[in-house]
Amino acid sequence: MAIIAAFALVRLGYDRWRGSPSLGGRPPLSEGLYEVVRVVDGDTLKVRAPDASERDLRSERGVRLRLLGIDCPESVKPNHPVEPWGPEAAEFTTKFIADRPVRLQFDGRRVDQYGRYLAYVFVDERMLNEELVREGLARVSTYPGDSQTMARRLRAAEDEARQNLRGIWSGRSRDLEHDR
């Protein structure tokens, strides 16, 4: 038993070190088109798993997916206040998707430490990650090993948002605007 426990701990540590946490027995997602079953917040979605059961099809169960390379203000994080521009980011994501299928594109890191898939999300030819940054509803947040091409694309969108004082770069808190 001690050997099995030691092996399990070593494997868990290796997966975390390697940056590929276990998928918890779930089959891996492949790149392609998926139905969004729920927008959790600006940078987190649930997509229908390819092996969804009939019961899953009638519910909001799905595979959690985090938008890669960006970080939106919080709007639903437990024990954390709603941050300015968080609700707007979630609303933007909902409207951007508008019940259309999304195309997932993966990078070097496919899963984060919380077991969420990490992907660039496209509707038609437009990338949601990039559009959130361009609107000033997210900051660029890349890691070593992420695609430099995508990082440059996201940084260019962030520069545009900053120059045009959009969203989080406007210097205005949405809470103050709602109080007027």
Q: What pTM was estimated for this model as a whole? A: 0.78
Residue 7, number of CB atoms within 10 A of its CB: 10
**CATH number of the domain at 28-179, out of 2.40.50.90, 2.40.50.100, 3.90.850.10, 1.10.645.10?**
2.40.50.90
Set 48, 66, 109, 134: catalytic member: 66
**Is the pLDDT higher at 113 or at 4?**
113
- 130 touches 159 (CB < 8 A): no
pLDDT at residue 23 in the model: 52
Residue 82, number of CB atoms within 10 A of its CB: 16
**Domains of the chain by residue range:** 28-179
Joined tokens for residue 171: 């210097």
| Confidence check: pLDDT of 28 > 90 | no
Active site residue 103: no
- 39 touches 133 (CB < 8 A): no
pLDDT at residue 4 in the model: 56
Tell me the mean pLDDT in the region 23-39: 81
The per-residue b/e assignment along 148-176, b for 16 or more CB within 10 angstroms, e otherwise, is: eebbebbeebbeebeeeebbbbbeeebee
pLDDT at residue 147 in the model: 96
Alpha carbon distance 27, 32 (integer Å): 15
pLDDT at residue 137 in the model: 97
| Tens digits of residue pLDDT in 98-129 | 999 999 999 999 999 999 999 999 999 999 99
How confident is residue 24, by pLDDT bands cut at 50, 70 and 90? low
| Confidence check: pLDDT of 70 > 70 | yes
For residue 128, what is the enclosing H or E element? helix 128-134
Residue carrying the six token digits 């007027």: 180
How confident is residue 51, by pLDDT bands cut at 50, 70 and 90? low
| Confidence check: pLDDT of 19 > 60 | no
Mean pLDDT of all residues in the chain? Answer: 83
Across 46-55, 85-94, 113-122, 162-171, least confident range: 46-55
Active site residue 131: no
Active site residue 100: no
Tell me the mean pLDDT in the region 76-84: 83
- 138 touches 44 (CB < 8 A): no
Set 116, 134, 139, 174: catalytic member: 116
Q: Residue 80: CB partners within 8 Å, gap ≥ 6?
A: 74
